[in-house]
């Protein structure tokens, strides 16, 4: 095996031959240092800025007629963006809608698909999932009159970082009515085998859905081919839709015609909506699972942001992402292992999402030191450091420089000047 080349010249060569290198200029990177927090909030692109201004201008130009006039009529924008997002998640266009937020969409989908009966009353999740998903699931159980301590089953992790698919499958017992799992674990970045888990759930006649917040825009999905029942996600991480941008959801077309659990104004079929009938005629596609009027200015940046993904394709993005994280891990092992920084994300490409996850007892203060030195990481309590090199705007030289800065911080113990405590937002 050839010796690993850890010189900066090698990083520069990788960047020179990177087919996606030209997209870096599409983003505002000058004032963000070495930005490695794109799995929390992606950077602003010039296209996203332009599409936001375009929708703002349509309000100025058309007033109320902006609902049906202009390049992006507001009345149809959720569906238009759903069409554009469908290839990113491997779905049919009518199965995807841009609407709501992550937790609102989860409440909608659980309200629709959690149908307990005498035999099946429990919801299956996992103990490593993002807290807000668990909050929502507990809330839904209470609304149905069930005690979450008895009816929410959380699959345990053997190592505190990853889940075993065989443990999840073993938990698919006869009393499970619904399964909600992450596509990629937010902390360790583990990719779950969604195809396998869906197949096993359906063998047992269990409806299954996935939280794609940390996988959408980062890995390749084939939701329709895998026959996933539903999925939901945010658009402000890898998809660079902006802070608080409108979320997205997928519903398999097998379920079209299901009454939405939480019906609302925009659940309606477009041609019937303004009939003002008190009986809902639900849309005959994923649009039925919208609730209220779309937040236009939170959706507008997504128009520009998605255009790059559809130009490049998820296969190329995933290929570069894996190269970036692989290179990152090689540098960490060569330069940082001696300082007690431990890689806790999966090493294998097929199991690793779009970020690196390190652990160290002084993680909170190390993250503060990194920010002071111009590297933007993400701290996860109690001792985790997430580093996400994003394919469209990060470079191999970014990765090399970040490791050198972190090495200097550890060698000089610069982190000791900071309190080992997270900030209000972390």
Binding-site residues for pyridoxal 5'-phosphate sit at 102-103, 130-133, 211, 214, 236, 265, 293
**Residue 52 zone, left/alpha/beta (φ > 0; ψ -120 to 50; rest):** alpha
Q: What is the 3-state secondary structure (H, E, C) of 282-299?
A: ECCCHHHHCCCCCCHHHH
Q: Over the Cα atoms of the chain, what is R_g? A: 22
The CA-based angle 81-87-88, given to 5 degrees, is 85
What's the CA gap between 379 and 84, in Å, rounded?
Answer: 32
Tokens 């994280």, residue?
325
What's the CA gap between 136 and 260, in Å, rounded?
Answer: 17
Distance, CA of 179 to chain centre: 18
The burial class, CB within 10 Å (0-12 / 13-18 / 19+), for 278 is: exposed
Tokens 């041609």, residue?
271
What's the CA gap between 384 and 187, in Å, rounded?
Answer: 8
What's the CA gap between 31 and 114, in Å, rounded?
Answer: 46
The full DSSP string for 103-171 is HHHHHHHHHHH----SS--EEEEETTS-HHHHHHHHHHHHHTT--HHHHEEEEPPSSSS---HHHHHHT
Give the pair of three-digit tokens for residue 353: 């999402």
What's the CA gap between 367 and 406, in Å, rounded?
Answer: 9
Cβ distance 265 to 273 under 8 Å? yes
Between the alpha carbon of residue 257 and those of residues 85, 132, 284, the distances in Å are: 22, 28, 6
Alpha helix (H) ranges present in 156-213?
165-170, 194-203
Give the pair of three-digit tokens for residue 411: 């060698």
HSE (CB half, 13 Å, CA atoms) of 301?
A: 22
Binding positions: 102-103, 130-133, 211, 214, 236, 265, 293
First-to-final CA distance of the chain: 40
H or E element in which residue 231 lies: strand 230-233
């Amino acid at each position: 095996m050839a010796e690993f080349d850890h010189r900066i010249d090698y990083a520069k060569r990788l960047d020179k031959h990177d087919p996606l290198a030209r997209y870096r200029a599409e983003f505002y990177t000058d004032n963000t240092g070495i930005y490695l927090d794109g799995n929390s909030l992606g950077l602003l692109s010039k296209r996203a800025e332009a599409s936001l201004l375009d929708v703002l201008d349509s309000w100025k130009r058309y007033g109320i007629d902006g609902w049906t006039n202009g390049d992006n009529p507001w009345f149809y924008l959720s569906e238009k963006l759903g069409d554009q997002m469908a290839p990113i998640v491997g779905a049919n266009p009518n199965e995807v809608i841009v609407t709501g937020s992550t937790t609102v969409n989860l409440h909608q989908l659980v309200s629709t698909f959690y149908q307990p009966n005498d035999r099946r009353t429990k919801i299956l999740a996992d103990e490593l999932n993002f807290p807000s998903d668990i909050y929502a699931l507990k809330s839904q159980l209470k609304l149905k009159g069930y005690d979450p301590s008895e009816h929410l089953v959380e699959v345990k992790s053997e190592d505190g970082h990853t889940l075993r698919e065989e443990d999840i499958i073993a938990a698919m017992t006869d009393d499970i009515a619904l399964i909600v799992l992450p596509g990629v674990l937010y902390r360790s970045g583990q990719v779950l085998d969604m195809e396998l888990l869906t197949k096993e759930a359906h063998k047992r006649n269990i409806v299954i859905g996935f939280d794609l917040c940390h996988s959408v825009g980062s890995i390749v999905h084939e939701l329709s081919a895998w026959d996933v029942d539903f999925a939901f996600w945010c658009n402000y991480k890898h998809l660079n839709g902006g802070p608080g941008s409108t979320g997205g959801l997928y519903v398999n077309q097998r379920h079209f015609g299901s009454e939405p659990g939480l019906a609302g104004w925009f659940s309606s079929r477009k041609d019937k909506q303004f009939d003002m009938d008190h009986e809902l005629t639900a849309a005959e596609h994923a649009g039925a699972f919208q609730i209220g009027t779309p937040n236009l200015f939170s959706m507008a940046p997504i128009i520009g942001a998605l255009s790059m993904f559809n130009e490049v394709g998820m296969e190329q993005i995933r290929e570069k992402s894996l190269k970036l994280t692989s290179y990152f891990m090689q540098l960490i092992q060569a330069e940082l292992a001696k300082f007690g920084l431990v890689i806790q994300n999966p090493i294998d490409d097929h199991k690793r999402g779009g970020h690196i996850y390190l652990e160290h007892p002084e993680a909170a203060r190390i993250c503060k030191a990194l920010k002071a030195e111009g590297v933007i990481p993400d701290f996860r309590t109690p001792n985790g450091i997430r580093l996400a090199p994003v394919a469209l705007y990060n470079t191999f030289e970014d990765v090399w420089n970040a490791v050198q800065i972190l090495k200097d911080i550890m060698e000089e113990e610069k982190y000791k000047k900071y309190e080992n405590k997270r900030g209000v937002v972390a």
